[in-house]
A = this chain, B = another copy of it.
Amino acid sequence: MSHQHPDDDTRGRLKVRRIAIDTYHENVAFLNRHCALYRAEGFQALSKVEIQANGTRIYAVLNIVDDDAIVSPDELGLTEQAFEQLGMENGNLVCVAHTAPPHSMDLVRRKIRGERLALTDFREIIHDITDNRYSKMEMAAFLVATVQSGLDREETLSLTRAMTETGERIQWHEPLVADKHCIGGIPGNRTTMLVVPIVAAHGLLIPKTSSRAITSPAGTSDTMSVLARVDLSPEEMHQVVAETHACLVWGGKARLAPADDILISVERPLGIDSEGQMIASILSKKLAAGATHLLLDIPVGPTAKVRHMNQALRLRKLFEYIGDRLGIHLEVVISDGCQPIGRGIGPALEARDVMQVLENNPDAPDDLRQKSLYLAGRILEFDPDVRGGQGFHLARDILESGRALKKMREIIEAQGAASPIPPSAPLTFEIVSAHSGYVTAIDNYQLAHIARLAGAPMDLNAGVDLLKKLGDEVEKGEPLYRIQAEFPSDFNFARELAEKDNGYRVGEKKEISHRYLEI
């Protein structure tokens, strides 16, 4: 194999080429094994490289390619995210050089050894992560280090601060900007889409940015997308808020606390969970979104994310401590997480439940209505003019008078109404009870999993429609819920899983899970 060597004036310069591979928040560069630079620079697979062009500098992990059709020896391939960050055209010359691992990995290694990190340390780490200088492995190392020796209160505060400082921060120029967040894990829990119009109808500012579902069958953005456009630019979002005092949009376009998105892309597949990371993730997003007042909902239940009351209480203290230090007015509600909220699980089904409540339809699911009124009431009490304890009644008045529905219609119109979707999914199947008795438990995870297999959230109409809830009496053969799907294979997967374990326990009345929480 001949070893071609670059002239000095093109030393380290290669033609950049877009490689349409999605490596999910990791920059990967591809170099041909016969590239002169590969040998001259002593590159190896998994080396970190620095790519420069026109004053822009990006970082990537190297993969070595043995196929000229993917990248030829005078080219450097970049995955889509990296290519976009560099902002060059195919064929432009770029400089490639070795780069040392980010300096802040020294700090990560200190954390691994069990040392405490300071605010400046977290700032360096988060800065390098946001700059895509960390490989997935390095992020995994950081995350495991923070889980294992743990983040104490001060470290969690520092991490939150560091994550808030990177990326944009929205300015609303209002003294009270309300927001809400739920720790998650409860299917069908679409209170946000009721709280926002109620609070906005009262006159408070509540510009809500949400994520899309990652592991759940629907996020607020997915459900809202059934009714309106949600992928608004920051400018469009400002316009909607100026018109309606509210919005219900996807937060992905706003570049809020971008380090959070990157870290989540590693945390999720690893299945590791750190309270410190979770708190920093939630609060940094809210602060970046410009919230001044935040209501946090922590559902507790045997199949919720938070399973024990003492864990919920500890989380509350931590949230309060950090919220106070960062100057956000924060209140925590611990709620019942024993079963799904409402009836529908999946974007269109949940949107139906939400609209039924807004329309004061007598068939509207009462648990969704009550919980939403309670949460909206607590947010209304952030208003100095609302007397403590009066929020719930005020919220109910706003809902019953139709003002909440009117506000929701304004928001939908301002964001741009979605084109109507066909009324229901063509394939349905009812899961029935194997014997008579009472519904004594419902497994949130199993129901979410079945709804996902049915196609939610990608197929808006897919999901699960609950016909029985906790405490309901059922006869043998009576349907517990209905699976809806659009595609036969999705339908079969969901049905097979539900037939193996339908997620319901039917037993004696005395076995019904004790709901120790009011909402």
Nearest B residue to A45, CB-CB:
B24
Interface positions of A from 54 to 71, Cβ below 8 Å from B: 63-67, 69-70
Given the complex of chains A and B, what is the CA–CA distance between A458 and B42 in angstroms?
8
Interface positions of A from 86 to 137, Cβ below 8 Å from B: 101, 105, 109, 112-114, 135-137
Interface positions of A from 16 to 37, Cβ below 8 Å from B: 19-24, 30, 33
Q: Is the CB of B45 within 8 A of A22?
A: yes
Asked if A266 lies at the interface with its beta carbon under 8 angstroms from chain B, I say yes
Interface string of A477-507 (1 = CB under 8 A from B): 0000000000111101100000000000000
Given the complex of chains A and B, what is the CA–CA distance between A140 and B137 in angstroms?
6
Q: Is the CB of B65 within 8 A of A272?
A: no
Find chain B residues with CB under 8 A from A46 CB.
24, 265, 269
Given the complex of chains A and B, what is the CA–CA distance between A265 and B147 in angstroms?
23
Asked if A453 lies at the interface with its beta carbon under 8 angstroms from chain B, I say yes
Asked if A149 lies at the interface with its beta carbon under 8 angstroms from chain B, I say yes
Known: A30-B21, A105-B271. A40 touches B490 (CB 8 A): yes
Find chain B residues with CB under 8 A from A19 CB.
67, 70
Partner of A141, one of B33, B140, B149, B487: B140
Nearest CB in chain B: distance from A426 CB, A: 13
Nearest B residue to A217, CB-CB:
B42
Among the listed stretches A2-10, A194-202, A224-232, A303-311, which one makes contact with chain B, having 4 or more residues with CB under 8 Å of it? Answer: A2-10
Nearest CB in chain B: distance from A61 CB, A: 8
Q: How large is the interface on A (under 10, 10 to 19, 20 to 34, 35 or more residues)?
A: 35 or more
Nearest CB in chain B: distance from A115 CB, A: 11
Q: Is the CB of A269 within 8 A of B135?
A: yes
Find chain B residues with CB under 8 A from A278 CB.
none
Interface positions of A from 227 to 255, Cβ below 8 Å from B: none
Find chain B residues with CB under 8 A from A452 CB.
42
Asked if A11 lies at the interface with its beta carbon under 8 angstroms from chain B, I say yes
Report how many copies the assembly holds.
Answer: 2
Q: Is the CB of B66 within 8 A of A11?
A: no
Q: Is the CB of B140 within 8 A of A5?
A: no
Find chain B residues with CB under 8 A from A105 CB.
270-271
Find chain B residues with CB under 8 A from A145 CB.
144, 148
Given the complex of chains A and B, what is the CA–CA distance between A282 and B269 in angstroms?
31
Nearest CB in chain B: distance from A106 CB, A: 9
Find chain B residues with CB under 8 A from A40 CB.
487, 489-490, 493
Asked if A138 lies at the interface with its beta carbon under 8 angstroms from chain B, I say yes
Q: Is the CB of A272 within 8 A of B109?
A: yes
Given the complex of chains A and B, what is the CA–CA distance between A374 and B47 in angstroms?
38
Asked if A509 lies at the interface with its beta carbon under 8 angstroms from chain B, I say no
Interface string of A251-289 (1 = CB under 8 A from B): 000000000000001100111100000000000000000
Q: Is the CB of B64 within 8 A of A22?
A: yes
Partner of A488, one of B8, B30, B453: B8
Nearest CB in chain B: distance from A147 CB, A: 5
Given the complex of chains A and B, what is the CA–CA distance between A20 and B488 in angstroms?
35
Given the complex of chains A and B, what is the CA–CA distance between A23 and B489 in angstroms?
32
Nearest B residue to A80, CB-CB:
B66
Partner of A21, one of B3, B22, B63, B109: B63
Asked if A317 lies at the interface with its beta carbon under 8 angstroms from chain B, I say no
Given the complex of chains A and B, what is the CA–CA distance between A280 and B145 in angstroms?
22
Q: Is the CB of B144 within 8 A of A140?
A: yes
Find chain B residues with CB under 8 A from A109 CB.
271-272
Asked if A515 lies at the interface with its beta carbon under 8 angstroms from chain B, I say no
Nearest B residue to A135, CB-CB:
B269
Interface positions of A from 402 to 426, Cβ below 8 Å from B: none
Nearest CB in chain B: distance from A297 CB, A: 26
Asked if A39 lies at the interface with its beta carbon under 8 angstroms from chain B, I say yes
Q: Is the CB of A20 within 8 A of B144?
A: no
Which of A11, A80, A139, A145 neighbours the largest number of chain B CB atoms within 10 Å of its CB? A145
Q: Is the CB of B144 within 8 A of A148?
A: yes
Given the complex of chains A and B, what is the CA–CA distance between A287 and B69 in angstroms?
44
Q: Is the CB of B269 within 8 A of A22?
A: no
Q: Which 7 A-B pairs have the closest CB atoms?
A: A20-B67, A24-B45, A20-B66, A140-B140, A144-B144, A22-B64, A137-B140
- Residue numbers of A with Cβ under 8 A of B are 3, 5-6, 8, 11, 19-24, 30, 33, 39-40, 42, 44-48, 63-67, 69-70, 80, 101, 105, 109, 112-114, 135-141, 143-145, 147-149, 265-266, 269-272, 452-453, 455, 458, 487-490, 492-493
Cβ contacts A to B, 10 pairs, < 8 Å? A21-B65, A22-B33, A22-B63, A22-B64, A24-B64, A40-B493, A42-B458, A135-B136, A140-B140, A144-B144
